[in-house]
Structure 1
Amino acid sequence: MTDTPKHSVSVAGVVVDDAGRTLAIQRRDNLAWEPPGGVLELGESFEDGVAREVLEETGLAVEVGTLTGAYKNMNRGIVALVFRCRPLTAPSPSTNEAVQCRWLSAREVSELMSEAYAVRVLDALSGTTHARAHDGVDLLPAEPDPLLGPPGAELRAL
């Protein structure tokens, strides 16, 4: 089974301050706004990976909290695990990986980030756990659940 495709696993931290704002970075390589995160290293726990990536990209130490979502880039085979975090220190205005680090409101997250990244932050703020697929930019339609019917049917039934 050596021809079996492999997935890459990444982790990200949605850092939320006392005012309910989220820390985002503007990446140096493509200028896109995203929550801080990156590839999970071999032998590294999820929580250690999140703390390391947030520190590398923002200069901010965090307490890693709960898993808020799993997201798969269907085009690139990347599975991202997102955790809600609490800041322990102040972020740097910029880092080697980020042109700038900035606290954003939920509205600013929706305006500045592509849908595939904004949903990770908004899901983390919602307080529930989500599993979603995307193409790198936009969310892909959810497959209907054979027990629940089309996505959202369980909400309409309430």
Structure 2
Amino acid sequence: MARIEHFNNPSAPKPNSIVVAVTVFVQDDQGRVLLIQRTDNDLWALPGGAQDFGEYITETAVRETREETGVEIEVAGLVGVYSNPNHVVQYSDGEVRQQFSICFRGRYLSGDPTTSNESSSVRWVAQDHLDHLSIHPSMRLRVDHGFQWSPEPYLC
């Protein structure tokens, strides 16, 4: 299913859903962040996705990271909560979702970056190489906050 991200766009369609979702900021021992290139829009992003019924939200973070990257993590903290009503995602099935994402900090446990049906590329990326990748501004905000290691989570 294709998706279009609308960010601070006054002509964006009005949302018709909100879904609890996560993203996960994980670094390797060299300080690089784990990123995927999404198959639905070709943009680079943190791994993540929607919470399933019967699942704790931290379980969602672990599952989505494993499914999209092949990497095993444990949740180690909170980067922030991202709920900007001016960021909506329009899907080809008619859903228009208002952003609501909890970004966790993950601790790498094991595994090698591996692609999935949701990720055409998976790699560890150094902070100084981020500007060379196509990353949506709302995702870049989460990545930048992850690198900042603030003692307080971002709440907006």
TM-score (norm 2): 0.75
Distance 1:110 1:81 in 2: 23
Which of 92, 96, 116 is the matching residue for 2:138? Answer: 116
Correspondence for 2:115: 94
Distance 2:80 2:143 in 1: 9
Which of 74, 95, 99 is the matching residue for 1:78? Answer: 99
SS of 2:146's partner is: helix
Residues paired across the two proteins, number: 128
Correspondence for 2:5: none
Distance 1:14 1:20 in 2: 11
RMSD: 1.6
The offset of 1:67, in angstroms, is 1.0
Q: Percent identity?
A: 34
The letter for the 2-side match of 1:115 is P
Distance 2:141 2:35 in 1: 13
Distance 1:92 1:31 in 2: 17
SS of 1:88's partner is: strand
Unaligned 5+ runs, structure 1? 133-158
TM-score (norm 1): 0.74
The offset of 1:6, in angstroms, is 5.3
SS of 2:110's partner is: coil
Correspondence for 2:39: 28
The offset of 1:51, in angstroms, is 0.1
The answer to whether the 8 A contact 2:34-2:122 is kept is yes
SS of 1:122's partner is: helix
